[in-house]
Amino acid sequence: MQNSINNILEKEFFTHSDIVKLLSTNENKCEILFRKATEIKSKYVDNKVYFRGLIEFSNKCIKNCYYCGIRAGNKTLKRYVLSDDEVLECAKYAFNNGFASIVIQSGEQQNKDFEQKISYLLENIMKISNGKLSVTLSLGEQFENTYKIWKEKGATRYLLRIETSNRELYSKLHPANKLHNYDNRLNCLKLLRKLDYQVGTGVMIGLPFQTIDHLADDLEFFRDMDIDMVGMGPYIEHKDTPLNQYRDQILSKKERFLLSLKMIAILRIMMKDINIAATTAMQTLDKQGREKALKAGANVVMPNITPIQYRTDYLLYENKPCLNKENNECQKCLEAGILIANDTIAYNEPGDSLHFQKRKNKIN
């Protein structure tokens, strides 16, 4: 098996069969895979880790996805929207502490008021940072003109997770209606590329009904879509969701975590110069989850800088960590973990996707 892994890792291009074999690697052989990913990461994107200050803007959502804790059908939630001042204070904290980049994330909304609210915030974030703070939006499916306006106001990156690239599995995770259409989500990713965003997406790993073949398809999807950045991690249950009824039929937490590390490592080897996040979900399943993800090839972390009083109302899944940690405490904890992973923190660097930059250079 070891020789088989080494032979695959020497290839310039992985076939579907190659990816399946790597994803099926026994735990005691995974070090070979992780070592290769570390080598690729060091060579192509250096050992720098970029902070993205995460602002969970609102848990109001029009979607009813079967896996998500803030789905519209969850009536146990206290819904909230951060005030303009609260968002701008978060942005100031990020800027003053050298993060150089923030992510504004929200439940999905599609209306003019929401469009204008985000536009206003982008304008003012650019003012308070003299245009130096990079902004990633993660606000779901929108109309093309909305994406265009936000790009003009200063957003440079957009994260829209596909959650699974398999059409059949997608239909098992969402209601069968226009609000939850696979083709529309795919089209939004294409619109974002057309509008010159740095485009990010991602999937959940260890879902009910999901197979190793599905995950191999996901990695090929990222490659075929020429994605610039990826945020993916283990599926974690939430008691107030329809998918929770299958919690006894899914992989163990340890298996989901290891599979997520493999996905990160394989993707780093396949797409050498993209940005890959060490997601909070990794830390949920393992106390050193984000550090282990960095060692497997990730190069971005997203410290939560949302005001503490709102964090317990933005639970996409159960047992989310760092809900009560002050920003500076969380930052110090991440700094220590990054040093343990033998990486360095790229303070005051926006950390744009090298993959995106190289593609732009080719076009120009």
Is 97 in a helix, a strand, or coil? coil
The count of other CB atoms within 10 Å of the CB of residue 13 is 7
CB 227 within 8 A of CB 199: yes
Average pLDDT over residues 294-309: 96
Residue 362 has pLDDT above 90, yes or no: no
**Quick one: pLDDT band at residue 330, thresholds 50, 70, 90?**
confident
pTM more than 0.95: yes
- Identify the helix (H) or strand (E) that includes residue 106: strand 101-106
Of the candidates 329, 335, 326, the residue with the CA atom closest to the CA atom of residue 301 = 335
Residue-number span of the structural domain to which 41 is assigned: 2-7+15-363
Domain CATH number, residue 140: 3.20.20.70
pLDDT > 70 in the chain, percent: 99
**47-to-44, 210, 339, 346, 358 alpha-carbon distances in Å:** 9, 32, 11, 9, 19
- The number of distinct structural domains making up the chain is 1
Confidence at residue 339, expressed as pLDDT on a 0 to 100 scale: 87
User: What is the token pair recorded at 5?
Assistant: 């892994």
The one-letter amino acid code at 122 reads L
Average pLDDT over residues 150-163: 98
Of the candidates 2, 15, 90, 3, the residue with the CA atom closest to the CA atom of residue 270 = 15
CB 99 within 8 A of CB 304: no
pLDDT tens for each residue of 18-67: 999 999 999 989 999 999 999 999 999 999 999 999 999 999 999 999 99
Q: What average pLDDT does the structure give for the chain?
A: 95
pLDDT tens for each residue of 174-211: 999 999 999 999 999 999 999 999 999 999 999 999 99
